[in-house]
Amino acid sequence: MFAPRCPSREVFAELVDKWSMLILMTLSSCGPQRFSELQRAVGGVSRKMLTQSLRNLERSGLVRRTVFPETPPRVVYDLLPLGRELAELVEPLGRWTERRAEQMMAAREEFDAAHAEG
Amino acid sequence: MFAPRCPSREVFAELVDKWSMLILMTLSSCGPQRFSELQRAVGGVSRKMLTQSLRNLERSGLVRRTVFPETPPRVVYDLLPLGRELAELVEPLGRWTERRAEQMMAAREEFDAAHAEG
Protein backbone atom coordinates (compact mmCIF):
# COMPACT_ATOMS: atom_id res chain seq x y z
CA MET A 1 0.00 0.00 0.00
CA PHE A 2 3.03 2.24 0.40
CA ALA A 3 4.08 1.59 -3.20
CA PRO A 4 2.41 3.89 -5.72
CA ARG A 5 1.62 1.17 -8.26
CA CYS A 6 0.47 -1.56 -5.91
CA PRO A 7 -3.19 -2.50 -6.41
CA SER A 8 -3.80 -2.10 -2.68
CA ARG A 9 -2.70 1.54 -2.92
CA GLU A 10 -5.17 2.11 -5.73
CA VAL A 11 -7.98 0.48 -3.79
CA PHE A 12 -7.03 2.25 -0.57
CA ALA A 13 -6.99 5.66 -2.24
CA GLU A 14 -10.52 5.18 -3.51
CA LEU A 15 -12.00 3.80 -0.32
CA VAL A 16 -10.40 6.39 1.89
CA ASP A 17 -12.79 9.10 0.89
CA LYS A 18 -15.23 10.88 3.14
CA TRP A 19 -18.29 10.15 1.01
CA SER A 20 -17.57 6.44 0.63
CA MET A 21 -16.99 6.14 4.35
CA LEU A 22 -20.14 8.05 5.30
CA ILE A 23 -22.14 5.88 2.87
CA LEU A 24 -20.73 2.67 4.37
CA MET A 25 -21.53 3.86 7.89
CA THR A 26 -25.07 4.81 6.88
CA LEU A 27 -25.77 1.46 5.20
CA SER A 28 -24.30 -0.32 8.18
CA SER A 29 -26.40 1.46 10.80
CA CYS A 30 -29.62 2.01 8.80
CA GLY A 31 -29.75 -1.09 6.59
CA PRO A 32 -30.71 -1.07 2.87
CA GLN A 33 -31.34 2.44 1.57
CA ARG A 34 -32.75 4.09 -1.52
CA PHE A 35 -30.73 6.77 -3.26
CA SER A 36 -32.88 9.57 -1.85
CA GLU A 37 -32.60 8.15 1.66
CA LEU A 38 -28.82 8.03 1.38
CA GLN A 39 -28.74 11.56 0.07
CA ARG A 40 -30.71 12.75 3.11
CA ALA A 41 -28.57 10.74 5.54
CA VAL A 42 -25.23 11.89 4.15
CA GLY A 43 -25.77 15.63 4.54
CA GLY A 44 -24.25 17.85 1.88
CA VAL A 45 -23.47 15.16 -0.68
CA SER A 46 -24.36 16.12 -4.24
CA ARG A 47 -26.30 13.77 -6.56
CA LYS A 48 -23.21 13.48 -8.69
CA MET A 49 -20.82 12.59 -5.87
CA LEU A 50 -23.28 10.14 -4.36
CA THR A 51 -23.79 8.42 -7.72
CA GLN A 52 -20.05 8.22 -8.31
CA SER A 53 -19.22 6.96 -4.80
CA LEU A 54 -21.96 4.32 -4.92
CA ARG A 55 -20.73 3.15 -8.28
CA ASN A 56 -17.17 2.82 -6.97
CA LEU A 57 -18.40 0.86 -3.96
CA GLU A 58 -20.52 -1.37 -6.19
CA ARG A 59 -17.65 -1.88 -8.61
CA SER A 60 -15.31 -3.04 -5.84
CA GLY A 61 -17.83 -5.53 -4.52
CA LEU A 62 -18.68 -3.64 -1.32
CA VAL A 63 -22.21 -2.51 -2.10
CA ARG A 64 -25.02 -4.18 -4.03
CA ARG A 65 -27.45 -2.19 -6.16
CA THR A 66 -30.80 -3.91 -6.64
CA VAL A 67 -33.49 -2.67 -9.01
CA PHE A 68 -37.04 -3.76 -8.13
CA PRO A 69 -39.18 -3.74 -11.28
CA GLU A 70 -41.95 -1.54 -9.96
CA THR A 71 -43.41 1.61 -11.48
CA PRO A 72 -41.33 3.69 -11.02
CA PRO A 73 -38.50 1.16 -10.49
CA ARG A 74 -37.24 1.09 -6.91
CA VAL A 75 -33.44 1.04 -6.55
CA VAL A 76 -32.00 -0.11 -3.24
CA TYR A 77 -28.40 -0.16 -2.03
CA ASP A 78 -27.11 -2.48 0.66
CA LEU A 79 -23.83 -3.82 1.99
CA LEU A 80 -22.23 -6.97 0.67
CA PRO A 81 -20.11 -9.00 3.14
CA LEU A 82 -16.94 -7.17 2.04
CA GLY A 83 -18.63 -3.81 2.63
CA ARG A 84 -19.82 -4.96 6.02
CA GLU A 85 -16.26 -5.86 6.98
CA LEU A 86 -15.00 -2.46 5.92
CA ALA A 87 -17.88 -0.65 7.65
CA GLU A 88 -16.89 -2.33 10.89
CA LEU A 89 -13.42 -0.83 10.61
CA VAL A 90 -14.66 2.59 9.56
CA GLU A 91 -17.14 2.97 12.41
CA PRO A 92 -14.52 3.25 15.18
CA LEU A 93 -12.79 5.89 13.07
CA GLY A 94 -16.05 7.84 12.84
CA ARG A 95 -16.74 7.57 16.55
CA TRP A 96 -13.20 8.64 17.35
CA THR A 97 -13.48 11.68 15.10
CA GLU A 98 -16.72 12.76 16.76
CA ARG A 99 -15.19 12.26 20.20
CA ARG A 100 -12.02 14.18 19.35
CA ALA A 101 -13.36 16.82 16.95
CA GLU A 102 -13.54 19.52 19.60
CA GLN A 103 -9.99 18.86 20.76
CA MET A 104 -8.72 19.00 17.17
CA MET A 105 -10.61 22.23 16.48
CA ALA A 106 -9.01 23.76 19.59
CA ALA A 107 -5.56 22.61 18.42
CA ARG A 108 -6.21 24.28 15.07
CA GLU A 109 -7.17 27.58 16.65
CA GLU A 110 -4.03 27.50 18.75
CA PHE A 111 -1.88 26.64 15.72
CA ASP A 112 -3.45 29.39 13.62
CA ALA A 113 -3.00 31.96 16.40
CA ALA A 114 0.66 30.98 16.87
CA HIS A 115 1.33 31.18 13.15
CA ALA A 116 -0.49 34.50 12.74
CA GLU A 117 1.77 36.03 15.41
CA GLY A 118 4.93 34.52 13.96
CA MET B 1 -20.38 13.97 11.24
CA PHE B 2 -23.30 13.41 8.89
CA ALA B 3 -24.17 17.12 8.97
CA PRO B 4 -22.23 19.22 6.46
CA ARG B 5 -21.45 22.06 8.88
CA CYS B 6 -20.59 20.03 11.95
CA PRO B 7 -16.94 20.49 13.03
CA SER B 8 -16.52 16.72 13.15
CA ARG B 9 -17.44 16.52 9.44
CA GLU B 10 -14.78 19.10 8.64
CA VAL B 11 -12.17 17.26 10.68
CA PHE B 12 -13.21 13.88 9.29
CA ALA B 13 -13.01 15.09 5.70
CA GLU B 14 -9.42 16.23 6.20
CA LEU B 15 -8.19 13.17 8.06
CA VAL B 16 -9.79 10.72 5.70
CA ASP B 17 -7.23 11.25 3.02
CA LYS B 18 -4.83 8.67 1.70
CA TRP B 19 -1.68 10.72 2.30
CA SER B 20 -2.58 11.62 5.89
CA MET B 21 -3.36 8.01 6.63
CA LEU B 22 -0.19 6.67 5.05
CA ILE B 23 1.85 9.26 7.00
CA LEU B 24 0.20 8.27 10.28
CA MET B 25 0.85 4.59 9.61
CA THR B 26 4.50 5.29 8.74
CA LEU B 27 5.13 7.37 11.86
CA SER B 28 3.41 4.73 13.93
CA SER B 29 5.43 1.81 12.63
CA CYS B 30 8.78 3.55 12.01
CA GLY B 31 8.88 6.15 14.80
CA PRO B 32 10.06 9.77 14.34
CA GLN B 33 10.93 10.57 10.73
CA ARG B 34 12.58 13.34 8.78
CA PHE B 35 10.78 14.81 5.78
CA SER B 36 12.98 12.93 3.31
CA GLU B 37 12.45 9.64 5.16
CA LEU B 38 8.68 10.12 5.03
CA GLN B 39 8.86 10.95 1.35
CA ARG B 40 10.71 7.70 0.69
CA ALA B 41 8.34 5.66 2.87
CA VAL B 42 5.14 7.03 1.36
CA GLY B 43 5.81 6.13 -2.24
CA GLY B 44 4.56 8.52 -4.87
CA VAL B 45 3.81 11.46 -2.60
CA SER B 46 4.95 14.80 -3.96
CA ARG B 47 6.90 17.31 -1.84
CA LYS B 48 3.92 19.62 -1.99
CA MET B 49 1.32 17.06 -0.87
CA LEU B 50 3.58 15.78 1.90
CA THR B 51 4.20 19.32 3.18
CA GLN B 52 0.49 20.11 3.09
CA SER B 53 -0.60 16.85 4.75
CA LEU B 54 2.02 17.18 7.49
CA ARG B 55 0.92 20.73 8.15
CA ASN B 56 -2.72 19.64 8.45
CA LEU B 57 -1.75 16.87 10.85
CA GLU B 58 0.40 19.27 12.88
CA ARG B 59 -2.36 21.89 12.92
CA SER B 60 -4.92 19.42 14.29
CA GLY B 61 -2.60 18.31 17.07
CA LEU B 62 -1.82 14.84 15.66
CA VAL B 63 1.79 15.29 14.64
CA ARG B 64 4.63 17.29 16.20
CA ARG B 65 7.26 19.02 14.09
CA THR B 66 10.53 19.56 15.90
CA VAL B 67 13.39 21.61 14.51
CA PHE B 68 16.83 20.72 15.89
CA PRO B 69 19.14 23.73 15.57
CA GLU B 70 21.94 22.00 13.75
CA THR B 71 23.63 22.98 10.52
CA PRO B 72 21.64 22.38 8.42
CA PRO B 73 18.66 22.31 10.82
CA ARG B 74 17.21 18.85 11.29
CA VAL B 75 13.40 18.68 11.15
CA VAL B 76 11.72 15.63 12.66
CA TYR B 77 8.07 14.61 12.67
CA ASP B 78 6.52 12.33 15.24
CA LEU B 79 3.11 11.35 16.55
CA LEU B 80 1.44 13.15 19.42
CA PRO B 81 -0.91 11.07 21.65
CA LEU B 82 -3.92 12.08 19.52
CA GLY B 83 -2.12 10.97 16.36
CA ARG B 84 -1.15 7.70 18.00
CA GLU B 85 -4.81 7.05 18.83
CA LEU B 86 -5.83 7.71 15.25
CA ALA B 87 -2.98 5.62 13.83
CA GLU B 88 -4.21 2.68 15.89
CA LEU B 89 -7.60 2.92 14.16
CA VAL B 90 -6.14 3.45 10.70
CA GLU B 91 -3.81 0.45 10.85
CA PRO B 92 -6.57 -2.21 10.80
CA LEU B 93 -8.03 -0.38 7.80
CA GLY B 94 -4.69 -0.57 6.02
CA ARG B 95 -4.19 -4.24 6.83
CA TRP B 96 -7.75 -5.00 5.67
CA THR B 97 -7.17 -3.19 2.38
CA GLU B 98 -3.98 -5.15 1.72
CA ARG B 99 -5.73 -8.42 2.58
CA ARG B 100 -8.76 -7.68 0.40
CA ALA B 101 -7.17 -5.73 -2.46
CA GLU B 102 -7.00 -8.73 -4.77
CA GLN B 103 -10.63 -9.61 -4.15
CA MET B 104 -11.70 -6.02 -4.84
CA MET B 105 -9.63 -5.86 -8.02
CA ALA B 106 -11.32 -9.08 -9.22
CA ALA B 107 -14.76 -7.58 -8.43
CA ARG B 108 -13.84 -4.53 -10.49
CA GLU B 109 -12.80 -6.59 -13.48
CA GLU B 110 -16.05 -8.50 -13.30
CA PHE B 111 -18.06 -5.29 -12.98
CA ASP B 112 -16.26 -3.65 -15.89
CA ALA B 113 -16.74 -6.72 -18.11
CA ALA B 114 -20.47 -6.88 -17.26
CA HIS B 115 -20.91 -3.18 -18.00
CA ALA B 116 -18.91 -3.30 -21.22
CA GLU B 117 -21.22 -6.03 -22.53
CA GLY B 118 -24.38 -4.23 -21.39
- Is A22 among the domain residues? yes
- Is B113 among the domain residues? no
Q: CATH number of the domain that A33 lies in?
A: 1.10.10.10
Q: Which pLDDT score is estimated for A49?
A: 96
- Is B109 among the domain residues? no
Q: Which pLDDT score is estimated for A64?
A: 98
- Is B70 among the domain residues? yes
Q: Which pLDDT score is estimated for A19?
A: 94
Tell me the one-letter amino acid at B6. Answer: C
Across the A:B interface, residue pairs with CB atoms under 8 Å apart total: 141
Whether A20 and A57 have beta carbons less than 8 Å apart is answered as yes
pLDDT in tens, A85-117: 999 999 999 999 999 999 999 999 999 999 987
Q: CA separation (Å) from A48 to A22, B6, B113?
A: 15, 22, 23
pLDDT in tens, A38-65: 999 999 999 999 999 999 999 999 999 9
Whether A82 and B105 have beta carbons less than 8 Å apart is answered as no
Q: Looking at the predicted structure, is the pLDDT value of residue B117 above 80?
A: no
Q: Looking at the predicted structure, is the pLDDT value of residue A118 above 80?
A: no
pLDDT in tens, B65-113: 999 999 989 999 999 999 999 999 999 999 999 999 999 999 999 999 9
Give the neighbor-by-neighbor strand order of the sheet with B74-79: B33-34, B74-79, B63-68
Q: Does B21 touch chain A (CB under 8 A)?
A: yes
CA of A70 to nearest chain B CA: how many angstroms apart? Answer: 21
Domain count, chain B: 1
Q: Is the dihedral of CA A5, B62, B67, B26 positive or negative?
A: negative
What is the interface pTM, i.e. ipTM, of the complex?
Answer: 0.89
- Is A110 among the domain residues? no
Give me the residue from A90, A97, A107 closest to B61, CB to CB: A107
Residue B1, SS3?
Answer: coil
- Is B22 among the domain residues? yes
Domain that holds residue A46: 7-89
- Is B42 among the domain residues? yes
- Is A16 among the domain residues? yes
Tell me which chain A residue has its CA closest to the CA of residue B88: A93
Q: Looking at the predicted structure, is the pLDDT value of residue B43 above 80?
A: yes
pTM for this entry: 0.90
Q: Does B107 touch chain A (CB under 8 A)?
A: yes
Q: Beta strands of A12-93 (E only): which ranges? A: 33-34, 63-68, 74-79
